[in-house]
Amino acid sequence: MSEATATTTRAFDPRIAALRRFALSITVFNIVGHLFLGFEQAYLTPIVGVLTAYAVSIGLETLDAWAVGKRPRYRGSFVKLVDFLLPAHIAGLACAMLLYGNERLFPTMFAVTVAVSSKYIFRVPVNGSLRHMFNPSNFGISVTLLLFTWVSIAPPYHFTEYTGSLVDLLLPGLILAAGTMINAKLTKRTPLIMGWVGGFIAQAVLRAVFFDHALPSALLATIGVAFILFTNYMITDPGTTPSAPRDQVIFGAVTAMVYGVLVVFGITFGLFFALTIVCAGRLVLTLLRPSRPALPPATVDEPAPEPVAVEVPEPVGAGVGRRDTA
């Protein structure tokens, strides 16, 4: 292997590659959504969301770096700045796409601020490095929905409101294919997706058997754009989910079961709240788990940045609307 090839190999970071693809995907989806699909938020909403995310992220990183005496991660080059802002970009667009606050921009700004801030507030030491535990976009959306009852999730139909029957079939397939490739090749979260989808089907069957819920309606959500976005771009965030395949399956299945419980109790926006609850439980278990000595620097896992959704996550097929965040 030549020196140039070795340098290129060492420089490749699958986490950054995943973030770049997530950011590109959600950007294109927002543009197409506002121009052709029927997104009902104002055109200014995603712009305000992204700018808010940039400002909060740079501000908190500067403050955090000053507090610990290190150089901010965005310093050094334009590429470093862009890569640093990728999670903020995703969070800004995810919150702007999934929340609906009528003509007001404040709910989006508030959700984005909470989302980005959570990465600096809810951090715990894992193998010698600090990791944030809540999916930022999902957490910001959940807090906003809890505090402002007049804010809702964007209706599921707005993802395909202005499309024809052919596009209605092609769009979910394209999103599913793109998300599957990213998660299979870069984030390595295929076991989590399997646990989540399998758990979702299981909770739907259990609700139908024990609570007389309509099984076809419960399962219909799995083919909607909102559910596919939540599955491929939000719950699969590598920075806030387990790495071990078995733990991924458990994480996904438990999230699905918590969602089922929320639905039984008539709680709306169940997908977002379920993921937040499971992340909170994982945070508590991490704090209670006996600490292990840090690994040598050469083998310590760096905190994995958040990817989407889609973070777009949420959303939200029949389970997301005022009822669930990809």
Return all residues near 192 (Cβ < 8 A) that are at least 6 apart.
Answer: 235, 236, 241, 242, 248, 249, 251, 252
Q: Residue 185 has what pLDDT?
A: 84
For residue 120, give Cα distances in angstroms to 57, 63, 235, 282, 295.
9, 10, 20, 17, 23
Low-confidence residues of the chain, pLDDT below 70? 1-12, 162, 164-165, 290-326
The backbone torsions φ and ψ at residue 153, rounded to the nearest 5 degrees and listed phi first, read -85, 145
Q: Residue 111 has what pLDDT?
A: 97
Q: Residue 86 has what pLDDT?
A: 96
Q: Residue 171 has what pLDDT?
A: 79
Q: Which two tokens stand for residue 293?
A: 């000595």
Q: Residue 154 has what pLDDT?
A: 87
State pLDDT tens for residues 92-103.
999 999 999 888
Name the nearest CA neighbour of 18 among 189, 264, 205. Answer: 189
pTM of the entire structure? 0.82
Q: Which two tokens stand for residue 36?
A: 């052709």
* DSSP letter string, 100-153: E-TT-SHHHHHHHHHHHHHHHHSEEEETTEEEE-S-HHHHHHHHHHHH-TT-EE
User: How far apart are the C-alpha atoms of 124 and 277, rounded to whole Å?
Assistant: 17
Q: Residue 324 has what pLDDT?
A: 41
Q: Residue 231 has what pLDDT?
A: 92
The span from the first CA to the last CA of the chain, in angstroms, equals: 40
Q: Which two tokens stand for residue 87?
A: 């999670």
Q: Residue 291 has what pLDDT?
A: 59
The amino acid sitting at 13 is: D
Query: CA angle 14-16-19, nearest 5°?
Result: 110
The backbone torsions φ and ψ at residue 135, rounded to the nearest 5 degrees and listed phi first, read -60, 115
Q: Residue 2 has what pLDDT?
A: 46
Name the nearest CA neighbour of 39 among 311, 271, 315. Answer: 315
